[in-house]
């Protein structure tokens, strides 16, 4: 549950580098023939599948104890050596792995995140995005665009969350994937915002509690409440005891559409609101509003859709929400209006070094 704390570059520098990268990519697209640019974009799907295959095969874990030549690595993985060489040839060309002078393969900064025991691992996230369920749903993106609805009810007769609840192997993978994604933003969030100002933080839909436990480990006086479905939080009491946080953090269970714990002066909704339609999100926010004191603060942590037409992670995840969850990413004005309809006033939006922003809101008076 550790965040793998790292020193972050200054936010203005990260923004400048992002603009420079996007500018170079846009220039490249404009200078080459359009059909070539389109082909290059399409072929990035092959790269995504290659990375997913590396996660499935456990290549990074097999290299965790040191470099291995192709024949040795193929034996360890029990795969065809020629097939392995062909997979690694593509991945090496995008610096996903490293090749030493003796021809052996090794981990580098990118592939280390494929290791299951890395401080920040994306292995479960990659396995989730590469799962049969996920790939099959994305082949129906056109259907989701036609209907404006998630495709799960038509394909499986269940919404995404209903399917995850009844197919627990998939549901557990999803929970782990979301936890791994969540770790990416923990350090940027802690660098951008003083969570220690709150006496009691209630993390709603907290999953494995990564953000809240990171906050509590960096503060001395803040107490926490982790709130999620019973099957999600079942392992957490033992983990909190292991981290020495059992005396400052409790675990409560339930549905945030019905009721949420009272008594917090800060309430966190991280990567929750975007899962739902406007009507569902308003219902959720009204439930939270009913539990809050007039002086409490609501912290919504989400990607915020930008006004520009440059690439942004939120534009990818917005389609993920359309295809699978039925929710959506929102602009700052969308959130301001949604919060106003739910009894809140948006006070400010704080950018971070990650794609996530912190939307700080208060009950309207």
pLDDT, tens digit (0-9, with 9 covering 90-100), for 74-94? 999 999 999 999 999 999 999
Domain boundary (118, 142, 173) is at 118
| Half-sphere exposure at residue 305, Cβ-oriented, CA atoms within 13 angstroms | 16
**What does the pLDDT read at residue 9?**
75
Nearest to 310 by CA among 12, 18, 45: 18
Average pLDDT over residues 116-120: 88
Confidence band of 110 (pLDDT split at 50, 70, 90): very high
Shared domain for 99 and 230, answered yes or no, is: no
Shared domain for 352 and 242, answered yes or no, is: yes
C-alpha 326, offset from chain centre: 17
Residue 124 domain-assigned (yes or no): no
The two structure tokens encoding residue 227: 């709130």
Confidence band of 313 (pLDDT split at 50, 70, 90): very high
Residue 249 domain-assigned (yes or no): yes
Domain boundary (70, 93, 118) is at 118
For residue 298, list its beta bridge partners: 267, 361
10 Å CB burial of residue 334 (0-12, 13-18, 19+) is middle
Average pLDDT over residues 100-123: 94
Share of the chain above pLDDT 90, in %: 84
Confidence band of 146 (pLDDT split at 50, 70, 90): very high
**What does the pLDDT read at residue 184?**
85
Shared domain for 113 and 191, answered yes or no, is: no
| Tens digit of each residue's pLDDT (9 = 90 or more) over 32-41 | 999 998 999 8
Q: Quote the mean pLDDT of the chain.
A: 93
Q: List the domain range (segments joined by +) for residue 279.
A: 185-363
Confidence band of 6 (pLDDT split at 50, 70, 90): low
The answer, yes or no, to whether residue 197 has pLDDT greater than 70, is yes
The number of folded domains in the chain is: 2
Average pLDDT over residues 286-308: 97
Confidence band of 3 (pLDDT split at 50, 70, 90): very low
CATH number, position 69: 1.10.10.10
The answer, yes or no, to whether residue 5 has pLDDT greater than 70, is no
Average pLDDT over residues 174-188: 87
Average pLDDT over residues 299-307: 96
Render the burial of 145-173: b for 16+ CB within 10 Å, e for the rest. Answer: eeeeebbbeeebeeebbebbeeeeebbeb
Average pLDDT over residues 190-197: 95
Shared domain for 105 and 221, answered yes or no, is: no
Shared domain for 189 and 302, answered yes or no, is: yes
Shared domain for 66 and 193, answered yes or no, is: no
Render the burial of 20-56: b for 16+ CB within 10 Å, e for the rest. Answer: eeeeeeeeeeeeeeeeeeeeeeeeeeeeeebbbbbbe
Share of the chain above pLDDT 70, in %: 98
**What does the pLDDT read at residue 1?**
44
Shared domain for 229 and 336, answered yes or no, is: yes
Average pLDDT over residues 221-232: 93
Q: How far lies 210's CA from each of 1, 2, 328, in Å?
A: 5, 7, 23
Rounded Cα distance between 182 and 174, Å, is 12
Shared domain for 112 and 194, answered yes or no, is: no
Shared domain for 251 and 343, answered yes or no, is: yes
Average pLDDT over residues 316-323: 96
Confidence band of 12 (pLDDT split at 50, 70, 90): confident
Domain boundary (118, 151, 176) is at 118
**What does the pLDDT read at residue 2?**
42
What's the predicted TM-score (pTM) here? 0.88
Residue 57 domain-assigned (yes or no): yes
In degrees and rounded to multiples of 5, residue 14 shows phi and psi of: -60, -40
Catalytic residue numbers? 274
Residue 159 domain-assigned (yes or no): no
Nearest to 130 by CA among 43, 48, 46: 48
The pairing of strands 344-351 and 356-363 is: antiparallel
Rounded Cα distance between 157 and 228, Å, is 24
Confidence band of 15 (pLDDT split at 50, 70, 90): confident
Residue 306 domain-assigned (yes or no): yes
The answer, yes or no, to whether residue 330 has pLDDT greater than 50, is yes
Shared domain for 105 and 241, answered yes or no, is: no
Shared domain for 79 and 212, answered yes or no, is: no
The answer, yes or no, to whether residue 304 has pLDDT greater than 50, is yes
CATH number, position 213: 3.40.50.150
Q: How far lies 332's CA from each of 272, 303, 306, in Å?
A: 16, 10, 8
| Half-sphere exposure at residue 125, Cβ-oriented, CA atoms within 13 angstroms | 14
Shared domain for 95 and 214, answered yes or no, is: no
Average pLDDT over residues 343-355: 95
42-51, 105-114, 171-180, 330-339, range with the lowest pLDDT = 171-180
The answer, yes or no, to whether residue 199 has pLDDT greater than 90, is yes
Residue 139 domain-assigned (yes or no): no
Residue 110 domain-assigned (yes or no): yes
3-state secondary structure the chain: CCCCCCCCCCHHHHHHHHHHHHHHHHHHHHHCCHHHHHHHHHHHHHHHHHHHHHHHHCHHHHCCCCCECHHHHHHHHCCCHHHHHHHHHHHHHCCCCEECCCCCEECCCCHHHHCCCCCCCCHHHHHHHCCHHHHHHHCCHHHHHHHCCCCHHHHCCCCHHHHHHHCHHHHHHHHHHHHHHHHHHHHHHHHHCCHHHCCEEEEECCCCCHHHHHHHHHCCCCEEEEEECHHHHCCHHHHHHHCCCCCCEEEEECCCCCCCCCCCCEEEEECCHHHCCHHHHHHHHHHHHHHCCCCCEEEEEEEEECCCCCCCHHHHHHHHHHHHHCCCCEEHHHHHHHHHHCCEEEEEEEECCCCEEEEEEEECC
Nearest to 153 by CA among 167, 163, 145: 163
Residue 231 domain-assigned (yes or no): yes
């Amino acid at each position: 549950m550790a965040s793998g704390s790292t020193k972050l570059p200054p936010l203005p520098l990260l923004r400048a580098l992002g603009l420079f990268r996007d500018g170079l990519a846009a220039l490249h697209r404009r200078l080459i023939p359009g059909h070539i640019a389109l082909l290059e974009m399409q072929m990035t799907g092959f790269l995504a599948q290659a990375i997913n295959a590396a996660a499935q095969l456990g290549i990074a874990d097999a290299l965790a104890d040191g470099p291995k030549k192709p024949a040795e690595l193929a034996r360890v993985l029990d795969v065809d050596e020629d097939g392995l060489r062909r997979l690694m040839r593509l991945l090496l060309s995008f610096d996903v792995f490293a090749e030493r002078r003796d021809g052996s393969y090794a981990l580098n900064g990118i592939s280390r995140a494929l290791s299951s025991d890395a401080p920040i691992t994306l292995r479960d996230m990659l396995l989730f995005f590469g799962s049969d369920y996920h790939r099959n749903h994305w082949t129906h993106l056109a259907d989701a665009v036609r209907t404006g609805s998630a495709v799960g009810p038509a394909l499986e007769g269940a919404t995404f969350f209903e399917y995850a609840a009844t197919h627990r192997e998939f549901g557990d993978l999803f929970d782990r994937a979301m936890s791994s994604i969540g770790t990416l933003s923990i350090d940027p969030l802690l660098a951008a915002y003083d969570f220690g100002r709150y006496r009691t933080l209630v993390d709603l839909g907290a999953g494995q509690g990564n953000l809240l436990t990171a906050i509590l480990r960096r503060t001395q006086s803040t107490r926490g409440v982790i709130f999620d479905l019973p099957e999600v939080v079942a392992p957490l009491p033992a983990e909190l005891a292991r981290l020495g946080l059992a005396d400052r953090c409790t675990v409560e269970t339930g549905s945030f559409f019905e009721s949420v714990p009272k008594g917090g002066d800060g309430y966190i909704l991280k990567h929750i609101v975007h899962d739902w339609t406007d009507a569902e999100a308003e219902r959720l926010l009204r439930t939270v509003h009913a539990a809050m004191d007039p002086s409490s603060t609501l912290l919504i942590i989400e990607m915020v859709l930008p006004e520009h037409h440059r690439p942004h992670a939120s534009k990818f995840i917005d389609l993920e929400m359309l295809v699978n969850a039925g929710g959506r990413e929102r602009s700052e004005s969308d959130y301001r209006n949604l919060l106003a309809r739910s009894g809140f006033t948006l006070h400010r939006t704080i950018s971070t070094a990650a794609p996530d922003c912190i939307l700080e809101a208060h009950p309207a008076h």
